Chain A
């Protein structure tokens, strides 16, 4: 095990995959000469040169589409978005093309491409820079959606994503890039896409969270443990394919579930997991499933409003208290 920052784990994954496969290249805004807006690509230009580490203009639709075409024609592009809030401009290429081309050409073409970058909010950046898009992409058939919470997951899953033969959405967080964690030093460390992980064992309540929300849940778990409530934290790591079996198994043990999701409430990960639990584990539930999400409101700038808007550990504690009837 080596202690790495989240960004370093991502960099290792990209570096290793570029090293082993010449068809892998990376492009995006400020990825090359500036060494990455968040320094994820630091040093790659020096190592791999201008051919494989490419600065793009602010043309998200264009470079995402050039990525799709290059992927269809034998390459394995990693397309970095400065944030997924800007990938909205490239939605046509991701949703109408990358996810569909294999199917509509009857399997004749592949689109092995990774779209990656930070997702969701990163402090007071206002309404257009704060949206969590993981559930939205998960809606579309043909895409895999990964949103890891710790450096180890990030490394193993990004390597798998780059090797995947279909389009993958790989999400990070500005606020997690500096986060440190133990990362496997195993040679060619791969984590299969679609496998969740029990990040904390507990018997009282299952709490599902991924990405940045996992860390809020972890905080809440430490607090609740003082009160003798043991949370079992499940990080699905990939939103799609979703490891619902792991979640259901846990719920059958704890009989209660809270889902924490940094998206708006309508039709997100939280509602999907909630639906599947009631179908698969109805008889095991001792309380209705609860969720902690953003409100159905755009992100405000003002600090106190922003703090009110963003899910926090206190809300997780309240939800856990509610499903354990401690209130």
Chain B
């Protein structure tokens, strides 16, 4: 066989190709909403609450990162920094008893669904007072009582589970809907496709939401998945949407409408929210796959700074009021760190607790 001129190439090539230092954005952000909070039915106070919530998520994680670097805890630490508008806009749009389930990038979701900063930080430290008793750590924040079903570490593993939550809601006819969040990387898992098909076929009241933050570890979205993510829905005849995730009001507006429809029509949706992760995939990521310029480009659209400007522009509050909120959050987070440091580790017996509901059994326990 004659030697071919061009060798076969399988995966789209990426990181090492020069683009003359042009910022090649890994994810295109659609325009944010032009509506004001009033037009969206949000009060001034609610906007301030949204700001506070986002600021809490940010400061909590910045402190967590410091504590990790100081060696206060080990394991993985995946930060949500940059994506806070998604969790915040969503939770304000949902009913309090609607279900939420997500992947391991879960701190923001926990905090906005009732995990206190103390319980969250204690979980990171592996302490008994943590939201999951120190058994789960960073990847497994949860507050089941408030319908936050937790963070999961196997990419795509929780997608069918999200549909299962919706199945139970439909079965029990309780009026609740379920929302299942996952990354752009998870879109490539077979579990997604099986789940979308069954959800449409079985008319499950579930919203499947991709938080497209531009990367799956070191792989830019265009290098790991084909086409436009939200268009996957077409193949299943499922309703879909794509919108900007760097603006909490945009997330709120869209999620509010979608939740209403899902509740009324009892049919699933597939949604792509475009956002950006500022930090590395986890703490051990040298981030050689993106340029500083690219990161800075997205930081210009920071959801927290954006909300702050909005509050000032719309005269919802004064600069001093915002600072007061910031100081309050800062204190709360510092208290949480102190608490996490001092509160005890689980007792040795805890190793065998939470394995079974009833009489536990352990093979060959001595």
Contact = CB atoms under 8 A, between A and B. Distances in A.
B303 interface: no
B9 A301 contact: no
17 contacts: A34-B218, A34-B288, A34-B289, A58-B155, A58-B216, A61-B190, A126-B76, A126-B153, A295-B362, A296-B363, A296-B364, A297-B352, A297-B362, A300-B135, A302-B350, A303-B73, A305-B346
Contact of A302 (B135, B218, B223): B135
Given A33-B15, A54-B10, A308 B218 contact: no
Nearest to A63: B188
Main secondary structure of the interface of A (DSSP, over half): loop
B365 A295 contact: yes
A125 B126 contact: no
A145 B185 CA distance: 30
Contact of B127 (A29, A297, A302): A302
Interface residues of B, number: 53
Interface string B337-366: 000000001101011100100000011110
A129 B351 CA distance: 17
Given A32-B11, A33-B13, A55 B219 contact: yes
Interface in B61-79: 73-76
Contacts of A59: 188-190
Nearest to B284: A37
B290 to A, nearest CB: 12
A123 interface: yes
B134 interface: yes
Interface string A40-66: 000000000111001111111110000
A89 interface: yes
Given A265-B363, A304-B345, A58 B185 contact: yes
A298 B140 CA distance: 14
A304 B154 contact: no
Interface in B12-41: 13-16
Contacts of B89: none
A34 B221 CA distance: 14
B186 interface: yes
A59 to B, nearest CB: 5
Given A128-B154, A304-B346, A62 B362 contact: no
A266 interface: yes
A123 B154 contact: no
Interface of A: 27, 29-30, 32-34, 37, 49-51, 54-62, 85-86, 88-89, 123-129, 264-266, 295-298, 300-305, 308-309
B280 interface: no
Nearest to A293: B364
Interface of B: 7-11, 13-16, 73-76, 126-128, 134-137, 139-140, 152-157, 185-186, 188-190, 216-219, 223-225, 288-289, 345-346, 348, 350-352, 355, 362-365
A264 B363 contact: yes
Contacts of A296: 362-365
Contact of B75 (A29, A86, A126, A305): A126
Contacts of B76: 125-126
B350 A123 contact: no
Contacts of A129: 153
> Which 3 pairs, one residue from A and one from B, show the smallest C-beta to C-beta distance?
A301-B137, A302-B126, A57-B188
Contacts of B7: 49-51
Nearest to B191: A89
Contacts of B224: 55, 57-58
Contacts of B139: 126
B74 A303 contact: yes
A33 B15 CA distance: 7
Nearest to B350: A305
B348 A308 contact: yes
B153 A55 contact: no
Contacts of A127: 135-136, 140
Given A301-B135, A301-B140, A55 B11 contact: yes
A302 B348 CA distance: 11
A81 B110 CA distance: 30
A54 to B, nearest CB: 5
B355 A297 contact: yes
A303 to B, nearest CB: 5
B348 A305 contact: yes
Given A29-B217, A37-B217, A301-B140, 16 more contacts: A30-B218, A33-B13, A49-B7, A57-B224, A89-B156, A89-B189, A123-B74, A128-B152, A128-B153, A264-B363, A266-B364, A296-B363, A296-B365, A302-B134, A305-B348, A305-B351
